[in-house]
Amino acid sequence: MNMRSFGTTTAGEVHELTIRNAYGMEARILTLGAALRSLTVFDEEGQKRDIVLGYDTAEAYSVGSEYFGATVGRCCNRIAGPDFELDGKTYPLVLNEGGNQLHGGPFGFSRQIWMALPLGESEAAFRLYSSDGDMGFPGNVSVQVTYRLTEDSLIIEYEAESDAPTLMNLTNHSYFNLSGHDSGSVASHRLRLNADLYTPTGPDLIPSGEIRSVKGSCLDLREGRLLGEILEDAFLSATQGLDHNFVLTGDKDLPFAVLSDPEEKIVMEAFTDRPAVQIYTAGGLRDVRGKDGALYQSHQGICLETQGFPDAVHHKDFPSVVLPAGEKWHSKTQYRFKGFSRIRRKKPVMIWV
């Protein structure tokens, strides 16, 4: 594990931590937003690929609107309207998307400097203290996000505790491209998603409150589909591709999603204990200058944002995202790479020269 200065923003000095496992897999995480800036894995032929989109400078992370790799909170996704009610009290929110709040507000967790806690060569934790009233949310909250590399996986664990009832719904906003962050569209990727239902939204992407079956629609990904087969579907025109909250079903020990590159040289299995995932295929990405000078365009990545339901505080039939005072909030998401494990588990051969 090593740490280096990554630049300075109005929020403060930013550092980048690099963690590695014994097999060469590497992750780079910033103290700004506890953001995953780089994730390098091997394909089945032993070639390295950096498979998440990102920026080259701290300033770009501080002003960009893409949330590349960020830890998003207190409440990810959208909360409708100017306020919410909790235990009979109304809390005005700091808004940043018209009359709604997106991803915790204009200076949510993704815009703040986290304290880095190196835990070893392959593990690092990041802590943040969020004071009562931060972006409109009640309670003094302590949060920790831990990134850990195992033999073939990246695991992200979240913990939080508040001294007053508040909302808590954390996620990671990485954009994955298994062909490499600079390789163009993910239209040729295949996605299988273990979700029977989704939550429809209006034009402002706020849930209507309905929970609807995916059957018969382009959102039915239960058997797996090439993303290019659905990205231009008329049903997705308003969202420029996928930007939907799917209700996860099935055994939590089984992957909720399986994503593969065009030749299946890398296959990513995703696991979570959260009830839902926002699948976003970056339809709004346009001419964004990314890492190594790459110019990111529409559909160049796919986000798998594990989460509670969007705007759950306004829908009594949605699973609650309320964190009671004194209780610990915990969640874990795992990304396992099968191409990586295959190449690294091959039996070594001795060659005489």
Cβ neighbors of 178 (< 8 A, separation 6 or more) are: 49, 51, 186, 189, 259, 260, 261, 266, 268
| Distance from C-alpha of 5 to C-alpha of 16, rounded to nearest angstrom | 6
Cβ neighbors of 54 (< 8 A, separation 6 or more) are: 35, 36, 37, 38, 68, 69, 181, 290, 291
Catalytic pick among 173, 189, 244, 299: 173
Cβ neighbors of 65 (< 8 A, separation 6 or more) are: none
**173 carries an active-site annotation:** yes
Catalytic pick among 66, 161, 269, 305: 305
**189 carries an active-site annotation:** no
| Distance from C-alpha of 23 to C-alpha of 162, rounded to nearest angstrom | 38
Maximum Cα interatomic distance, the chain, rounded to a whole number of Å: 79
Count of helices and strands (H, E) across the chain = 2, 30
What are the angstrom distances between the C-alpha of 135 and each of 107, 201, 315, 352?
7, 24, 21, 65
Phi and psi for 95 in degrees, rounded to 5? -95, 150
Q: Which two tokens stand for residue 157?
A: 């664990």
| Distance from C-alpha of 255 to C-alpha of 277, rounded to nearest angstrom | 12
Catalytic residues: 173, 305
